[in-house]
Amino acid sequence: MACFAIFAFLGLCSIEPAPAAGPSGIVAVIDGDTLDVGGARVRLHGVDAPENAQRCDTGSGAQWACGDWVTQEASLRFAGREARCETVDIDRYERIVARCAVDGADIGETLVSEGLALAYVEYSRAYEAQEAEARAARRGIWRGEVQAPWDWRRAKRAGQGIPDPAPERIEAGGCAIKGNISGGGRIYHMPGDPYYGRTKIDTGAGERWFCSEAEARRAGWRHAGS
């Protein structure tokens, strides 16, 4: 206090600046863990989502485009909304690494809780409990089998083990949810569901593919398990 009283007018006191605020603004989703927030590129801290080109296993041996699906689901939840972020670091790609929230809800926590991303425990253990709960409930990517994104990237860099999509996935244009018409009406099967692998889609009969559960529900279809 004496410093301020005696020397402040001379400019001889220095005050440590507060940490710079993180970016804020309208969200554009790049992939499951990367956003543009108010025009700034942000890598979410403590989470790692399947890459856009990554594919997962349904549990019955079939492959599906889980990376694209995660990006679509993240877009449905956050694109066009306003986020506020707290900067944690700057990564080697010059992206801001940050914790971000929409309406006070932590985006990273939401993604992990809903089975759209993994807890990135190499950098933070904040979301371990949410991942364990999502795994137990078989939400999102946990309906089947998923390679950890960091392992997928390592394998890709080494030129190893990245499988080609199954033929029916190419025909589906990258959307993994099967809209089937049966005696039970219009129902959709998620990757990892019991009858997903054996369900064949006949678009000529009015059956179709969906890119998200929200899209299927809006079209009037119900989940096969409901």
pLDDT digits (tens, 9 = 90+) for 105-153: 999 999 999 999 999 998 999 999 999 999 999 999 999 889 999 888 8
pLDDT at 38 over 90: yes
pLDDT digits (tens, 9 = 90+) for 63-121: 889 999 999 999 999 999 999 999 999 887 788 999 999 999 999 999 999 999 999 99
CATH fold of the domain at 24-157? OB fold (Dihydrolipoamide Acetyltransferase, E2P) (2.40.50)
pLDDT for the residue 119: 95
Give phi and psi for 87, each to the nearest 5.
Answer: -70, 135
User: CATH 2.40.50.90 in the chain, residues?
Assistant: 24-157
Q: What is the pTM of this model?
A: 0.64
Tokens representing residue 96 in the block: 């801001």
For residues 2-27, give the mean pLDDT: 57
Q: Which residue has the higher pLDDT, 226 or 223?
A: 223
pLDDT digits (tens, 9 = 90+) for 147-184: 999 888 888 878 754 444 444 433 334 467 888 888 77
pLDDT for the residue 66: 93
Question: Which residue has 């856009």 as its token pair?
Answer: 52
Burial of 52 (0-12, 13-18, 19+ CB in 10 A): middle
pLDDT for the residue 162: 43
Q: Which residue has the higher pLDDT, 15 or 207?
A: 207
Q: Which amino acid is at 220?
A: G
